[in-house]
Structure 1
């Protein structure tokens, strides 16, 4: 009996020892990247892992392409049924009111200048002559002077009102003088672009207009004017584009998209460009990741400018030829910010 028990105990101890040895074998895991400097620097343990993140050097070549801006048909010019001043229809009731009042004040000014003031000057000269010959009293002379002074005050008030309405029209992107001299059969397109793009558009630049109402009708035009006022809230500036509208197909209030070519020499502007895929936004700020060593990446905050096509120009934060990550950016963002 003892000869049977001893071999069984020996076998049990052997299998138990093997089982414990198997459990104590440590599991192998991939080493994690080291994240330091509050997430700004990410270092991978080897270059094989870092090779996933593709980079390209920050460039300084010229940007070229097209800018697209939402727009609307802000006004159309029609012939007047009375054969007098042409009719201008606006999409904005406030501008419509300002233009109507402007035209009325101009009529008032002509009436005051050509009729009222001339008449009051004649009356004053007559009162002065009668007073000199003793045929009129001092009160008659003062009344004639007061009447002329009142008309001159009325003239000044009318001119002040014109300045007010002209300012409103200019803020809306219109030149009041151009409106008054416009021929029937034209329309005005107004679009807004950021103030950072003003240097990239010029008066006289050609552009294309797409109208959703007439998708098959190509429309071309030129930038007629760049507004003098920048919106304090949106930081946008208005462009006015004049197009031909002989059949009055284009109506005030229609939506449109304006496209015009833009080219920017980044060398002359002392800026550089990157692929838009390199840019990330976090907490209201713009960042890129730069490869600073074979397996190390650093997060850098940048100041962006104009985007044309898939390129964005950078004003601050990068140097030329720095290797900017363009593939795997979101993975680095997650590591950097702990997402």
Structure 2
């Protein structure tokens, strides 16, 4: 073997050895985390990546405080100059139109029931009696029956229209019966709150509000209704609050800020109640989860049951223990690894 060949073989061996060492080093420093137990456990091999996920211990205090929400005066009730049904003024022309048409349909129903149908029944009884005594033809009897049937159809149509207008009013946060029976000098405030806060307010709860138009006035009210529908786009639910407006200073369309005192739910409060930062909470398919650091490089996903939220804190009444290290930064990255997206 000549000297040139010897040098070439030696170089190849050295190159192969270096390449092998580089592959081993790459394998040892592989930054891809290990996901186990159907995504519930995530382990990192790169310690530099672990430092990105900040944690804080779960607290052991139940929350209480105040919930603030924007609102507006949506309707005011005035005395009718004609002495009949009260006048209701809305800030929304569509709702005002629905209420006006609703009242007209109710008048129509009373007229159809008390006058038209009663008269048609009398006429049908007379036609039947005359027909039985040979003083009326079969056509006379059929005409009387058709007239009664027509009025009954009109009644059904009026009732269907009432259902339509009642649905529109309810979607706007109003109860038609409450509007019709409201005392003059009453005003209604509509307030939108997030779906996540719906458990913190109940019908009958008191609240206070301040209006930019009258900043010196502090008005007390009562939650009269929590809407049955949540807006599919904004995920907000409407509250209707009744307040007194005897001097009619408050006008439909005025803005307000409503404050609700919020306390922990006694049915959920216990010695195990703890709280976490809301940034730690994630949801998937209607369930709530957090990630807990259980070892220097390991994070575990835990399902939790949430309660009251005040500001940036959320009560947890099931699924966590005190002082567990809950991830508050990097949560979305862990969620992607855990659920595979």
Instruction: Give the TM bin, normalised by the shorter chain.
Output: 0.7 to 0.9
- Deviation at residue 176 of structure 1 after TM alignment: 0.4
Q: Secondary structure at the match of 1:96?
A: helix
- Contact 1:305–1:314 at 8 Å: present in 2 too? yes
Equivalence map 1:215-254=2 (5 Å) = 215-254=215-254
The equivalent of 1:312 in structure 2 is 314
Native 8 Å contact 1:63 1:265 kept in 2? no
Tell me the distance in 2 between the aligned counterparts of 1:122 and 1:287.
70
In structure 2, do the counterparts of structure 1 residues 164 and 280 end up closer, same or farther at CA, with 3 Å as the change threshold?
Answer: closer
Q: Which whole-Å CA distance do the structure 1 matches of 2:238 and 2:332 have between them?
A: 39
CA contact 2:206–2:220 (8 Å) conserved in 1 = yes
- d(CA) in 2 for partners of 1:222, 1:142: 57
Q: Secondary structure at the match of 1:319?
A: coil
In structure 2, the residue matched to 1:128 is 128
Where does 1:181-196 land on structure 2 (aligned, <5 Å)?
181-196=181-196
Aligned residues: 292
Q: In 2, distance between residues paired with 1:292 and 1:68?
A: 37
Alpha-carbon distance in 2 for matches of 1:301, 1:215: 47
Cα distance in 2 for partners of 1:68, 1:218 equals: 14
What is the CA–CA distance in structure 1 between the aligned matches of 2:239 and 2:86, rounded to whole Å? 23
The answer to whether the 8 Å contact 1:302/1:315 transfers is no
Q: 2:146: which partner in 1?
A: 146
In structure 2, relative to structure 1, the CA distance for the partners of 1:323 and 1:266 (3 Å cut) is farther
SS at match of 1:216: strand
CA distance 1:120–1:140, shift in 2 (3 Å): same
2:7 paired residue number = none
Matched, 1:37 2:33: yes
Cα shift readout 1:107-134 (whole Å, capped 9, x = no counterpart): 0001101111111111111111221222
- 1:147-166 alignment runs, 5 A limit: 147-166=147-166
Structure 2: runs of 5+ lacking an equivalent: 1-29, 36-41, 283-287, 337-341
| Counterpart contact for 1:35–1:335, Cα < 8 Å | no
1:87-142 Cα deviation digits (max 9, x unpaired)? 10111111111101100000000110111111111111111122122221111111
SS in 2 for 1:154: helix
Equivalent residue of 1:183, what SS?
coil
Q: In 1, are the aligned partners of 2:274 and 2:316 still within 8 Å (CA)?
A: yes
Q: Provide the C-alpha distance between the structure 1 equivalents of 2:58 and 2:72, rounded to a whole number of angstroms.
A: 40
For 2:166 and 2:138, how far apart are their aligned partners in 1? 42
Question: Structure 2 CA distance, aligned partners of 1:277 and 1:179?
Answer: 39
> Retained in 1: the 8 A contact 2:62–2:269?
no
| Cα distance change, pair 301–127 in 1 and its aligned pair in 2 (3 A) | same
Q: Distance in 2 between matches of 1:110 and 1:95?
A: 23
Corresponding position of 1:95: 95
* Residue range with higher mean Cα deviation, 267-276 or 150-159: 267-276
Q: CA deviation at 1:300?
A: 5.7
- Aligned twin of 1:169: 169
Give me the whole-angstrom Cα distance separating, in 2, the residues matched to 1:272 and 1:43: 34
Deviations 1:231-268 (A, max 9, x none): 22333221110000011111111111211112224882
Query: Shift of residue 213 of structure 1?
Result: 1.3
In 1, the alpha carbon distance for the partners of 2:148 and 2:290 equals: 71
Q: Which has the larger radius of gyration?
A: 1
CA distance 1:143–1:249, change in 2 (3 Å): same
Equivalents in 2 of 1:42, 1:89: separation in Å?
A: 63
Residue matched to 1:209: 209
Quote the offset at 1:41 in angstroms. 6.1
Structure 1: gaps of 5 or more residues: 1-33
Separation of aligned partners in 2, 1:55 and 1:43: 22
TM-score normalised by length of structure 2: 0.72
SS in 1 for 2:162: helix
Residues 173, 239 of structure 1: 8 Å contact kept? yes
Where does residue 57 of structure 1 map in the other structure?
A: 58
Paired residue secondary structure (1:179): helix
The alpha-carbon deviation at position 191 of structure 1 amounts to 1.0
